[in-house]
Amino acid sequence: MTERTPRTVLLRGGNVYSPADPFATAMLIEGEQIAWVGSEGAADAYAGIADEVVQLDGALVTPAFVDAHVHATAAGLALTGLDLTGCGSLAEALTRISDHTAGRSGVLIGHGWDETGWPEGRPPTLAELDRAAGGAPLYLSRTDVHSALATTALRDLTPHLAELPGHHPTAPLTRDAHHAVRQAALAHLTDEQRRVAQRATRQRAAALGIGALHECAGPEISSAHDLAQLLELAATEDGPEVYGYWGELGGTATARELGAVGVGGDLFVDGALGSRTACLHRAYQDAPEGSEGATGAAYLTADQIADHVAACTEAGLQAGFHAIGDAAVDAVLAGVRAAADRVGLAAVKALRHRVEHAEALNDEAIAGFAELGLVASVQPAFDAAWGGPDGMYAARLGAERAGALNPFAALLRAGVPLAFGSDAPVTALDPWGTVRAAAFHRTAEHRISVRAAFAAHTRGGWRALGRDQEGVLIPGATATYAVWRTGELVVQAPDSRVAGWSTDPRSGTPGLPDLTPGGELPSCLRTVVRGRTIFQATTTG
C-alpha cells in the first residue's frame, strides 16, 4: 500500500445508519476516522473544508460487513475455476467437469457438487468421474467441503490413501482420506495460483461491501504457507482486512508465528450434515442400512478440547472449534467447562472462545454458550440452502430435528454473541442475502429482526475479535463503511404479532433495506476500509 496524506471526505444527501443520530443524512471522515455524523443543514459547515464532497443522492451508508468465516483460497478457486454450485443434475455436473478439464494439464481443483438436489440422487461414480475428467487428476469438494470426489489419477498421487479412515474405492471420500486427497491437490498449487485466488475472493468481498474477513485456516483445510501468503497479501494490497485463525490442536506457537488472532476456526470436532459426518447423539434418518458411522464422526474428545482451551487461555489466544452436530457441541461444552475449572471461568470468558456453525443446539446447550462466554459464529445461508420441510436437513434428520437447527432467536435471547459468515466457498459471499436468511429463517421461531441480523454481520464480527468499538458509524470510530443503492428503508420485525415493517419517524429507529424474500437486494456503490476506498462501482452516463 502507498502512503498518503490524511484526507477529509464529506458524504451528504443520503441516509447514514448510525446510533448517534437515527435521522443522519451526512458523515464527515478525517483520515481513518469518522469525525462527525449529522443532518444535511449542518453539513454545509463542513463542505468548505472537505477535500472531497460525495453527493449520495439518497444512497444508504452503513458499516461495512464482516464475514466471520471464509476460506479465501478455496473460495477464489471456485470464483475463477470449476464451480458446480447450482448444478441441476448429475448429467450437468459431468458436462461442466468435461468442459473445464478439456485441454488443461496438472492437478485440477473444483467445488460445489450437491447430489441431494439432483434427479439421479447420487454423485458420479469413480468411472464416470474419470471419463468426464479425461483421466486428469481432479479434486472436487462437496458443497459442505466435508467429503470429496477424487479421480483415479489424484488417488494415485495420495500416499497410503486406501489405509485411511473414510476411504472408499469408488465412492466419495470422507474423514482422513478426504483430508489426504485435498492436501495432495493443494500441494500442486503455485504461489501465483494462490495469489490469483486470494485476490479474487478479496475483490469479490469488496464489491459486496465487506470490509473484513475472518480466514479459517488450518493444517487439514489449507496450510500454514497459504495463511501466511494471504495475510501478507492483505497487508500489502488494498482490500478487505483479513484476520487469520489457525485451526490446529495445540497450535498456539504456530498461530503466534503466523500472526493469527486465534487458534481455532476449522478445528474439527465433527464434520457436516450433508456428508453425514456431523456428530449426532441419534443416527441419521437416511443413513444407508448397515453403514458404519450412522451417527457421524467424532474427531476430538472433550479431554482434547479442554487441553486446547486451557492452553489457548493461558497463552492469551482465542480458541475455537468447528462443531455442527449435537454430540459435537456437547463435547465442546464439556471441554470448555473442564478448561474453566483449571484456569478459571473469568479467564475463559474474557477470550470469547468461538464455536463455528453450532447448528444443533438445544436449550441446555444455548445456556452453556452463555455461561461460558462462547461466540456462536454461524452461517444463516445454510438454513436458506438446506432448511425447510423438503430440504437436505429434513432428509438427513427428519422434520422435527431439522426444524430445531440454527436457533438464532434463542441464542440472542440468551445473550449469546452472534457473528455471521458465509463459510465461502460452502455458501457464497452474500452479506445482504445472509441477513435476509436470518430474518426469514425457514423455521419461524428462529427468526430475528433485520436490525439484529445486520448487527451480527457487522459489529458481531468485530466483537468476535474482541474489538467492541468497531463496526458502528459514530464520531471517533474507524471509517470502515459501505454505500448502497437501495429502495425504501424500513424497520422489519420477525414477529407476526407486530407490524412487519414501519417507517414511523417517531420510533427513532434507523431504517434498513426491505429484505422481504423475492425483492432486490441493495447494490454496493463504494466500500471504504479505514478511510481508503477499496471498491468503487463504475457508473454509466
CA 249 to chain centre: 21
Dihedral angle computed from the Cα positions of residues 29, 34, 40 and 41, in that order, rounded to the nearest 10 degrees: -90
Three cell numbers, residue 264: 481455532
Q: Own/partner pairs for 514-520, CB < 8 Å, 24+ apart?
A: 514/487, 514/488, 514/489, 514/490, 515/432, 515/435, 515/436, 515/439, 515/440, 515/450, 516/440, 516/492, 517/436, 517/440, 519/487, 520/487
Pure H helices in 301-362: 302-315, 326-343, 345-350
54 and 76, same domain (yes or no): no
Per-residue pLDDT at 506 exceeds 60: no
Give tens-digit pLDDT for 225-255. 999 999 999 999 999 999 999 999 999 999 9
- Residue with the bigger pLDDT between 103 and 276: it is 276
Please report whether residue 3 resides in a domain.
no
Top-confidence range, 152-161, 410-419, 502-511: 410-419
41 and 82, same domain (yes or no): no
Top-confidence range, 106-110, 174-178, 481-485: 481-485
Per-residue pLDDT at 5: 58
Angle, in degrees to the nearest 10, between helices 191-207 and 72-80: 90
SS3 of the chain: helix, strand, coil, percent, to 5: 35, 20, 45
What's the average model confidence in pLDDT over 22-32?
A: 95
- Residue with the bigger pLDDT between 126 and 293: it is 126
Share of the chain above pLDDT 70, in %: 95
Please report whether residue 192 resides in a domain.
no
**With helix as H, strand as E and coil as C, how does 20-62 read?**
CCCCCCEEEEECCEEEEEECHHHHHHHHCCCCEEEECCCCEEE
Please report whether residue 196 resides in a domain.
no
Give tens-digit pLDDT for 465-484. 999 999 999 999 999 999 99
Per-residue pLDDT at 508: 65
Per-residue pLDDT at 501: 44
CB of 371 within 8 A of CB of 346?
A: no
Per-residue pLDDT at 487 exceeds 70: yes
288 and 379, same domain (yes or no): yes
102 and 16, same domain (yes or no): no
Per-residue pLDDT at 36: 96
Per-residue pLDDT at 2: 45
Per-residue pLDDT at 444: 96
- Residue 143 pLDDT level (bands cut at 50, 70, 90): confident
Per-residue pLDDT at 366: 98
Per-residue pLDDT at 540: 45
Write the single-letter amino acid at 149.
L
356 and 374, same domain (yes or no): yes
Three cell numbers, residue 534: 477499496
Q: What is the number of domains present in the chain?
A: 3
- Which range, of 259-273, 276-290, 351-365, 394-408, averages the lowest pLDDT? 276-290
39 and 73, same domain (yes or no): no
Which residues neighbour 324 within 8 Å (Cβ) at sequence distance 6 or greater? 270, 271, 272, 273, 278, 279, 357, 358, 359, 360
Please report whether residue 244 resides in a domain.
no
- Residue 492 pLDDT level (bands cut at 50, 70, 90): confident
- Residue 289 pLDDT level (bands cut at 50, 70, 90): confident
CATH of the domain at 354: 3.20.20.140
Please report whether residue 435 resides in a domain.
yes
Dihedral angle computed from the Cα positions of residues 195, 200, 201 and 207, in that order, rounded to the nearest 10 degrees: 140
154 and 55, same domain (yes or no): no
What's the average model confidence in pLDDT over 443-467?
A: 97
Positive or negative: CA dihedral 323, 326, 329, 331: negative
- Residue 541 pLDDT level (bands cut at 50, 70, 90): very low
Per-residue pLDDT at 299 exceeds 90: yes
- What whole-number distance in Å separates Cα of residue 40 and Cα of residue 26? 6
- Residue 495 pLDDT level (bands cut at 50, 70, 90): low
Residue where a domain stops, chosen among 153, 186, 219: 186
Cβ atoms within 10 Å of 72's Cβ, excluding its own? 32
- Residue with the bigger pLDDT between 65 and 6: it is 65
Pure H helices in 189-251: 191-207, 224-236
Average pLDDT, the chain: 93
Please report whether residue 511 resides in a domain.
no
443 and 313, same domain (yes or no): yes
What separation, in Å, do the N-terminal and C-terminal C-alpha atoms of the chain show? 31
293 and 438, same domain (yes or no): yes
81 and 19, same domain (yes or no): no
- What whole-number distance in Å separates Cα of residue 140 and Cα of residue 59? 41
Per-residue pLDDT at 137 exceeds 70: yes
Cβ atoms within 10 Å of 485's Cβ, excluding its own? 16
Whole-structure pTM value: 0.91
CA 355 to chain centre: 12
- What whole-number distance in Å separates Cα of residue 512 and Cα of residue 538? 24
- Residue 168 pLDDT level (bands cut at 50, 70, 90): very high
- What whole-number distance in Å separates Cα of residue 255 and Cα of residue 262? 7
- Residue 3 pLDDT level (bands cut at 50, 70, 90): very low
Pairing type for strands 108-113 and 138-142 reads parallel
Per-residue pLDDT at 298 exceeds 90: yes
CATH of the domain at 27: 2.30.40.10
Per-residue pLDDT at 206 exceeds 90: yes
CATH of the domain at 132: 3.10.310.70
Share of the chain above pLDDT 90, in %: 82
Please report whether residue 312 resides in a domain.
yes
Per-residue pLDDT at 406 exceeds 80: yes
Give tens-digit pLDDT for 190-202. 999 999 999 999 9
Please report whether residue 1 resides in a domain.
no
302 and 377, same domain (yes or no): yes
Domain enclosing residue 422, as ranges:
264-464
180 and 304, same domain (yes or no): no
